[in-house]
Structure 1
Amino acid sequence: MSRSTTGVRRVAQDKVEVLGTRGAVASSSPLISSSGARVLVDGGNAIDATLAMAATAWMALPGQCGIGGDAFVLVREPDGRVWTLNGSGLGPDGATTEFYRAEGHHAIPLSGALAVAVPGALAAVRALHAAGATRSLEELWAPAVRLGSEGVPCTLKTRLDITEHAADLARDPGAAAMFLRPDGGVPEVGQRLAFRELADFVAAAAQGREGFYDGSFGDRALSHLTGAGARFSGREWAAGAQVAPMDAIATPYGSATIHQTPVPSAGWMVLQAAAICDGMLRDRGLLDAESVHWMAEAFRLGFRDRHARCGSDNDGWQQVLAADAIGQARADIARHRASSSGPAHPTGDTTSTVCVDEDGRAVSFIHSLAFTFGSRVTVPGTGVVLNNRLGRGAYLIDGHPNEVKPGRKPLHTLNAWAVDHPTTGLLHVGSCPGGDGQVQWNMQVISHLLDHGVDPQTAVSLPRFTVFPGSDADVVDKPDELRCETGIPQDTLDQLAAWGHPVKVLPTQVGGPGGSAMAISVDHENGVLRAGADPRMEGVALAI
């Protein structure tokens, strides 16, 4: 199945793909993966397993995701239907450019109450449950509730997150109680972090008695946020409960089809890069200069398009996928001159899971608080950390397609994907957290799988490259860089530099800047599932 990767070093040479026949899961945490595998072993389907993993992730990776964040889901059913869920919420009804400017802001704050959008994660998981689960949420979430109550071992990742943001966490009594020691210090790796209020809240949510959008929790959250200056009316909060299945968006790639989550997700950017690169990367050397150039330029164009004309409620993304736009992009890239990206971005903190069950149902699920620990605001008495998605995804630019505006969702970096074939069926499913790196790293993994035929563990372990800057709202005018992990061949780097790419080599390492990709492939010839999880985090793939 795999072609040679000679000349390209993987992140971890000793991490091999996981094989199974009845189901597979992958995530960025052993605790999360084991919770999903346990559900599959007990006879649950991929939706059940995904729901169990989501709640476990809220406990195991509290800086990356939570019930106060957002979630996007892509599901490919055994009959070939592909559908999605958009678990993202509106900004406040009173959030306008005039309001923020009157408060003295040139950009929406990245922390605090003014950065918060209505959380969509809980609405998304409830819609996912209604669409195909076979077990109750109470049953599926019981292990996560127990984990939070008894205490989650602090991982190195969580300790680093807390260390970086300790000052902000200390300012919020709820966050300080959850993440800091009683003396205000940072917990050590291995120390248990007890999230009892959050565990109680998740238990109540499993039974539908928490009043998240239109009851006790919603009232408490609104009171806390408006008391801190946010301009929520309550109507946008109640609207957050409404999440319904939507069709995926898709583009052909060779003989396969790539399916993605629609706006406000950034999934269209993966499809744009795929359309531009279709046929240009096949039969080339793995991570050779030509391949990197084509993908890097496609990514740069995507960020320019996103910043200039693609909002969450217009058809700009459809225009950039039109045949004439793709043709012009291909002609420009073929000149072998590096371009620039546009506004800069810091990376975010997100996590995801993928799962395939015995029936061939596949689920790619991604959820986030936006930046690490989101807004660093908790709702008192609940343990729920709120996102900072509005601050990250909306602009204070008059008339811009991403201008902050009542009734408008901020744009997202989150996206989830699957690849299938009209006769063979499901081929691959995957995801990769990491801010504006997501769309770039997902496309690279997809190309490794489709253009080079590598196994999923190799695909997620290969060194990656990242176009910087991207298109987040808060920072602009940073110098262009093509950030390349160590392991990309030197002759590739030299040729890219000759074509004008501002190459910057960064270390490829655990916890490094390359995200945390995961993928599951279907080997139809042998009737086997092949799974891989990124060694850059504590990624684990499991199969049964």
Structure 2
Amino acid sequence: MHRDFEAPGRSPVLATEAVAATSHPLATSAAIEILQAGGNAVDAAIAAVAVQCVVEPHMTGIGGDCFAIVTEPDGRMAGFNGSGAAPRALGTRKLADMGIREIGPGSVHAVTVPGAVRAWETLLAAHGTRPLKTLLKRAIGYARDGFPVAPRVAFDWARNVDKLAADPAAAKAYLIDGAAPRTGDIVRLPQLADTLAAIADGGADAFYTGAVARDIVDTLAERGGYMTVEDLAACHTTAVAPVLRDYRGHTIAELPPNGQGLVALVMLGLLERFDLGALDPVGPERLHLEMEAARIAYAVRDRFVADPGHMDVCHTKLISTDYLDQLAARLDPTRRNIDLPVSALMPQTDTVYLTVVDRDGLAISFINSIFKEFGSGIVAPKSGVLLHNRGSSFRVEAGHPNTIEGGKRPMHTILPAFGLKNGTPWLAFGVMGGHYQACGHAHLLTNIIDHGMDVQQAIDCPRLFFDDAFRTLQAETHIPEATVEALRAKGHDVARAKAPIGGAQAILIERRKRTLAAGSDPRKDGHAAGY
């Protein structure tokens, strides 16, 4: 597909040496700075995400989790699960005895151990070349000296004033005279700067033990939480083998549970049965198939996906041909299936995803999150750590694979991904947006593979997702009205989305041309850059 140069938009960034794509310009600059100083892709990714933990506080932070896939030039891949667990003293029976049947996003019990900082250190030990002291320099500077609030960040910040005002430390750190900062306002986070500096000097232990850990535990205890310093000290990153499945001559890699990467692979396994390339990419036939495949795949997720030690089926079974054949029987290409299980999902904008490929061909697909916007809304006041609320993904339902238990990781929405072609690196990519992410992976991949879009066009392409317990499709502005009406005729209730759905970054590796083509989502403030 050729770009219309008279229409708003931008071209993919082309480079030959190295390239980085993030959702914030200051993070992209930090990555490029490390690359040009001789650091590799993993070094650059850690420098970039640390900046994002300061300048995109509603999306990510050191009080959250992360996942990554690192791919060598020969196609060897290593996966990293940097998600934390529920406090050891907490479980379904305890919550049920307290009369709690659901863990809301603002509940103190939604705060699980933050796994990101330990994972950064683990990634660097395995694949990096630079110390944290070097890589956190820009993040510390922005936190201590101040950073200008970017336009999309300001847009999201304004929607969270009530959430931040409910916590004194959050209000002090993230509101100005009780209001959200506006575009261009300078924000300083001195307590967070001190904590980042401590991590730079002392490594991850400076976060998981000592004064920072005590501040986190005391803050949660004041609200009735059960996390202990022992829970924090026990945090570890798990090395995992990516799960692979082919789609039209490309091998797609996702991380195994507790993440939802299998949802994307199930969707692709259903969609490959149709000639998507013959359909209008923003037409009702293509989008109906995508949404029905998504509804089926997310129903599978909600039934089975959890901490792998607690799943009652092997994750490989869920993407087997026999099982996909059973699921495919539930996808009617002409009508919405009214008999699928109901689950309450909605599109979100949270999380940051970034990707970097360096001059040696090492690539990283990396995602870091505090789940809902501004996470739990709880800030540990002395350390400035904004805590995530990933535990709200747990169920309080005895016998369910994803019910909450001490030391157990929750089902996770964030997922990095990677694509191989002929066994060699082809596409580093990821999509932001909470529950939407797995659907977004399938949308982006089929845009490229089936519809012939370049990486930037594939990211730009309008999106839709389901809301209100699967009953309503939320359609972005640029989904044509004729498509909306045709989807309604197929049985869908469709409304216009109130905000852009998610975000994305991607780098396509052209081995034959020896070029890198990168795209970054205009729904966010960021961009790709290379040299």
Which TM bucket (shorter chain)? over 0.9
Partner residue, 1:128: 123
Partner residue, 1:157: 152
Q: 1:276 aligned to 2:270? A: yes
Partner residue, 1:204: 198
Q: 1:178 aligned to 2:173? A: yes
2:74–2:425 Cα contact (<8 Å) kept: no
Q: Within 1, Cα distance between the matches of 2:345 and 2:307? A: 18
Q: 1:382 aligned to 2:383? A: yes
Shift of 1:233: 4.3
Partner residue, 2:357: 356
Shift of 1:489: 4.3
Q: Percent identity?
A: 31
Q: Structure 1, residues 297-316: CA drift from partner, whole Å, max 9, x if none?
A: 11101121122222222135
Q: Within 2, Cα distance between the matches of 1:428 and 1:445? A: 11
Partner residue, 1:472: none
Partner residue, 1:372: 373
Shift of 1:4: 5.6
Shift of 1:59: 1.0
Partner residue, 1:407: 407
Q: Within 2, Cα distance between the matches of 1:421 and 1:246? A: 21
Partner residue, 1:251: 245
Can you give the 5+ residue segments of structure 2 that lack an aligned partner in the other structure? Answer: none
Residues 291/198 of structure 1: CA separation in 2 closer, same or farther (3 Å cut): same
Q: Within 2, Cα distance between the matches of 1:52 and 1:409? A: 26
Partner residue, 2:509: 522
Amino acid of the structure 2 residue aligned with 1:466? F
1:175–1:378 Cα contact (<8 Å) kept: yes
1:24–1:543 Cα contact (<8 Å) kept: yes
Q: 1:56 aligned to 2:47? A: no
Q: Give the secondary-structure state (helix, strand or coil) at the position aligned to 1:418.
A: strand
Q: Give the secondary-structure state (helix, strand or coil) at the position aligned to 2:368.
A: strand
Q: Within 1, Cα distance between the matches of 2:447 and 2:157? A: 35
Shift of 1:427: 1.4
**Residues 51-200 of structure 1: pairs in structure 2 closer than 5 A:** 51-181=46-176, 183-200=177-194
Amino acid of the structure 2 residue aligned with 1:384? V
Q: Within 2, Cα distance between the matches of 1:467 and 1:273? A: 15
Shift of 1:157: 3.3
Residues 280/335 of structure 1: CA separation in 2 closer, same or farther (3 Å cut): closer
Say how many residue pairs are matched. 523
1:22–1:543 Cα contact (<8 Å) kept: yes
1:281–1:291 Cα contact (<8 Å) kept: no
Q: Within 2, Cα distance between the matches of 1:316 and 1:490? A: 42
Shift of 1:279: 4.9
Partner residue, 1:475: none
Q: Within 1, Cα distance between the matches of 2:156 and 2:457? A: 28
Shift of 1:220: 2.8
Residues 279/191 of structure 1: CA separation in 2 closer, same or farther (3 Å cut): same
1:280–1:291 Cα contact (<8 Å) kept: no
- Output the TM-score relative to the length of structure 2: 0.93
Partner residue, 1:486: 477
Partner residue, 1:473: none
Shift of 1:275: 1.5
Q: Give the secondary-structure state (helix, strand or coil) at the position aligned to 2:112.
A: coil
Partner residue, 1:451: 450
**Residues 260-339 of structure 1: pairs in structure 2 closer than 5 A:** 260-287=254-281, 288-313=283-308, 314=311, 315=313, 317-334=315-332, 336-339=334-337
Residues 225/100 of structure 1: CA separation in 2 closer, same or farther (3 Å cut): same
Give the counterpart of 1:535 among 510, 522, 525. Answer: 522
Q: Give the secondary-structure state (helix, strand or coil) at the position aligned to 1:342.
A: coil
Residues 146/135 of structure 1: CA separation in 2 closer, same or farther (3 Å cut): same
Partner residue, 2:467: 468
Q: Structure 1, residues 239-267: CA drift from partner, whole Å, max 9, x if none?
A: 21x21422111101111100112211111
Q: Give the secondary-structure state (helix, strand or coil) at the position aligned to 1:517.
A: strand
Shift of 1:499: 2.6
Shift of 1:268: 0.9
Shift of 1:108: 1.1
1:138–1:207 Cα contact (<8 Å) kept: yes
Q: Within 1, Cα distance between the matches of 2:267 and 2:223? A: 41
Q: Within 1, Cα distance between the matches of 2:481 and 2:149? A: 38
- Output the TM-score relative to the length of structure 1: 0.91
Q: Structure 1, residues 404-458: CA drift from partner, whole Å, max 9, x if none?
A: 11221111110011111125x2111111110111111121111111122211110
1:352–1:432 Cα contact (<8 Å) kept: yes
Can you give the 5+ residue segments of structure 1 that lack an aligned partner in the other structure? Answer: 470-477
Shift of 1:120: 0.4
- The CA RMSD over aligned residues, in Å, is 2.2
